[in-house]
Structure 1
Amino acid sequence: MATEESRTVQEAYPMMGGDGLYSYAKNSTQQRKATDSAKEPIKKAIAEKLGKEILQSSKTFRIADLGCSVGPNTFFAAQNILEAVESKYKSEGLNSQIPDFQVFFSDHTSNDFNLLFTSLPQDRRYYVAGVPGSFHGRLFPKNSLHFVHSSYAIHWLSRAPKEVVNKNSPAWNKGRIHYSNSGDEVVLAYKAQYDKDVQQFLQARAQEIVYGGLMVLIVPGIPNGTHHSQSLPSMNLELLGSCLMDLARKGMVSEEKVDSFNLPIYNMSPQELEAAVERNGCFSVEGVEYLPLVVPNVSGESKINGQVLASHLRAAMEGIIKQHFGEEILDLIFDSYRKKIEENSSIFNFGKAVHFFIILKRISENQLS
């Protein structure tokens, strides 16, 4: 019988590897802009929140990027963090005590680590290690990390809720691949899976991060109080689902195959994530900031470019779709999505979304109020 860990690994679908037309490396400019926008907030968080006792006791400063994918965004994030920590040492008058830096790049075992390592910056000032595995469980020894970073990753669940593909469940999500415009039972099933996964994530990090260490999460989510049917990310995935149903109606895939496919994604609000942190009790929320929301296109901000959006989505979704439906329909699905997103570009005017940045600090029991 499969263990929970092996099931999680089996259901892992990393971003598109390689350096081809639809690779994540070439189709992650939106994520890069979020990394750039977070540079100054990260510098400020380290300057104000990272304790001097950590600086004085650390001969090697350890940084982990969870959900690193294949680069290059993860390298920019690592460099931003390293520079901010060095500035902190200098501001504290500890120039002679600046430590070695070790950066752990972590993602699922099926991530394209070959591309990641071959594209490492030649002038990097840190030691590198790859750590394969799911961040929904432990990845590192206890009290070994000083700073954890994760961008555009924790909205991915460890799995889609089992109930939504069960014909005998009230939460059966027939004809849909996500919870947008689904019944309350489907939404509650996704919310329950998110609650479970985020607690596992936080509990694992609580064991790995030293007291006083920091964790920064960059999250594509929805504004506080937004109903899921008004969520731009959900509307976007609903369009993708409609492309699959169109193929089912044409007999190119079976409708049962679509019914058994649900994306393991939950777009949380800042309020939901803060509540999860409070329930966990091992971290304090040191700040929440909103980052600029950017829709990728190539010809200016006034017109949506469907091909760019389709390529971005394909870089993230090709693996999970290919695994379930096969590769024969990939071009058809994403070409259909390109047309639909151009026809329905108005969703970017009324769909609601936020990209937010949350700073967490590992606290000891005697710091709990």
Structure 2
Amino acid sequence: MEGPSNAFPMNGGEGPHSYSRNSSAQRIFIDRARKIIKEAVAEHLNIEAFSSSGAFLIADLGCSVRPNTFYAVSNVLQAVEQKCESLGLDSQILEFQVFFNDHVGNDFNILFRSLPQDRRYHVAGVPGSFYGRLFPKNCLHFVYSSFALHWLSGAPKEVQDKSSPAWNKGRIFYTNANKEVIKAYAAQFAKDMEVFLCARAQEVVRGGLMVLTFLTRPDGAPHSQVFANRSLDLLESCLADMVKKGTISEERMDEFNLPMYYASPQEMKEAVERNGRFSIKKMVELVEGLAEAYPLTGKMIASQWRAALEGLLKEKMQFGEEMLDELFDSFARKHDESSIFEFVRESSITFVLLERSTTN
């Protein structure tokens, strides 16, 4: 995610490169998070304290477009209803309000047109970056965010500064860059997480819960071994090829850096502990079974990345449809020609359950 003035949401609509048609991997892990959410609500949610208000407020931060956000919300609602039943409470008297949040440019039209007809919750859209306040103080009971927080508020300024030792000339990412570039990205992630947690600490009621799902780099693993990072290396090489052909200028590529960072679970833990406003109730790192979530062909993975990056490339690189087609066709071929899929096992998914502190 980027800040309000530099927001590049996922592709909307229902076309071949839309996010709604290229997010099946995320759906797999939303399904896997269901058990964690159920256990989290059962063990840690003080529903009796919250039910007196008559309303239970849920926010999905970085919701993008359908259908994954609806599955995620359904998981939360079912868990809360089961908790009510286990305590002998009538869940029917509890009204649910769900806030779907993403950037102003997100395709909220398709999101709202696709709302389940049988939903048992009220709906509101909340446009804006989650790197800042979005809601009134002490109003949210449950916050959910899935595969969104690897998006930074922006690429680190140092990597675009020619006078900085972290200037990332000729590259668009940190994977194989010098250590100063990696440090700049890690520092940006830490800074953004602090902003995110401070904002949520004001919005979430004391004792409220937050479940965050991240694509992570296993603790101790080199950045260059993470599947997503190696994939973006191939994108970088495709752009370098376009520079050599004269399709784009060297200067334009030098000015382009991806605003993403794949943190390790340890970096996540340190960010939460440094902030001090939430306590980690559970952190689950899932390494097994990732292969089934990843596309099996270069064309499929190129389409997934295009759904995520097209808006950014159009704005920052001034790419039109023909240049996008050229880039992602080349990107797909390079995936098929490489041994990159062997590195799927080097990635991990981390589920983090946080509880809003009752003391600070």
Q: CA deviation at 1:345?
A: 3.0
1:150-205, Cα deviation, whole Å (9 max, x unpaired):
00000100000111111111111011110011001101111111111000000000
Aligned residue for 1:103, secondary structure, equals strand
Q: Which moved more, 1:272-281 or 1:283-292?
A: 283-292
Q: Which amino acid aligns with 1:203?
A: C
- Once residues 91 and 185 of structure 2 are traced to their aligned partners in structure 1, the CA distance between those partners, rounded to angstroms, is 50
1:213-242, Cα deviation, whole Å (9 max, x unpaired):
000001001101122122222111111111
- Match in the other structure for 2:348: 354
Q: CA deviation at 1:356?
A: 1.2
Identity %: 55
Instruction: Please tell me whether residue 67 in structure 1 is matched to residue 42 in structure 2.
Output: no
Instruction: Please tell me whether residue 285 in structure 1 is matched to residue 285 in structure 2.
Output: no
- Match in the other structure for 2:211: 216
Aligned residue for 2:346, secondary structure, equals coil
Q: Which amino acid aligns with 1:329?
A: M
Instruction: Please tell me whether residue 169 in structure 1 is matched to residue 161 in structure 2.
Output: no
From 93, 105, 112, the counterpart of 1:117:
112
Change (3 A) 1:96 1:244: closer
Q: CA deviation at 1:290?
A: 2.8
Instruction: Please tell me whether residue 324 in structure 1 is matched to residue 316 in structure 2.
Output: yes
Q: Which amino acid aligns with 2:311?
A: G
- Match in the other structure for 2:334: 340
1:1-369 to structure 2, matched below 5 A, reads 8-95=3-90, 98-291=93-286, 292-294=289-291, 296=293, 304-325=296-317, 326-327=319-320, 328-349=322-343, 352-365=346-359
Q: Which moved more, 1:109-118 or 1:54-63?
A: 54-63
Q: Which amino acid aligns with 2:116?
A: P
Aligned residue for 1:94, secondary structure, equals coil
Q: CA deviation at 1:130?
A: 0.1
Aligned residue for 1:71, secondary structure, equals coil
- Once residues 348 and 124 of structure 1 are traced to their aligned partners in structure 2, the CA distance between those partners, rounded to angstroms, is 41
How big is the alpha-carbon RMSD for the aligned residues of Structure 1 and Structure 2? 1.5
Aligned residue for 1:70, secondary structure, equals coil
- Once residues 316 and 296 of structure 1 are traced to their aligned partners in structure 2, the CA distance between those partners, rounded to angstroms, is 16
Change (3 A) 1:297 1:133: closer
- Once residues 279 and 260 of structure 1 are traced to their aligned partners in structure 2, the CA distance between those partners, rounded to angstroms, is 32
TM-score of the pair, normalised by structure 2: 0.95
Preserved contact between residue 235 and residue 351 of structure 1 (Cα < 8 Å): no
- Once residues 357 and 312 of structure 2 are traced to their aligned partners in structure 1, the CA distance between those partners, rounded to angstroms, is 37
Preserved contact between residue 222 and residue 231 of structure 1 (Cα < 8 Å): yes
Q: CA deviation at 1:208?
A: 0.4
- Once residues 207 and 354 of structure 2 are traced to their aligned partners in structure 1, the CA distance between those partners, rounded to angstroms, is 10
Aligned residue for 1:365, secondary structure, equals coil
Structure 2 gap segments, 5+ residues each: none
Change (3 A) 1:96 1:338: closer
Change (3 A) 1:92 1:351: closer
- Once residues 98 and 81 of structure 1 are traced to their aligned partners in structure 2, the CA distance between those partners, rounded to angstroms, is 17
TM-score of the pair, normalised by structure 1: 0.93
Q: Which amino acid aligns with 1:71?
A: R
- Once residues 87 and 166 of structure 1 are traced to their aligned partners in structure 2, the CA distance between those partners, rounded to angstroms, is 53
- Match in the other structure for 1:301: none
Q: CA deviation at 1:52?
A: 3.9
Structure 1 gap segments, 5+ residues each: 1-6, 299-303
- Once residues 81 and 194 of structure 1 are traced to their aligned partners in structure 2, the CA distance between those partners, rounded to angstroms, is 27
Preserved contact between residue 297 and residue 305 of structure 1 (Cα < 8 Å): no
Q: Which amino acid aligns with 1:354?
A: S
Preserved contact between residue 231 and residue 340 of structure 2 (Cα < 8 Å): no
Q: Which moved more, 1:190-199 or 1:45-54?
A: 45-54
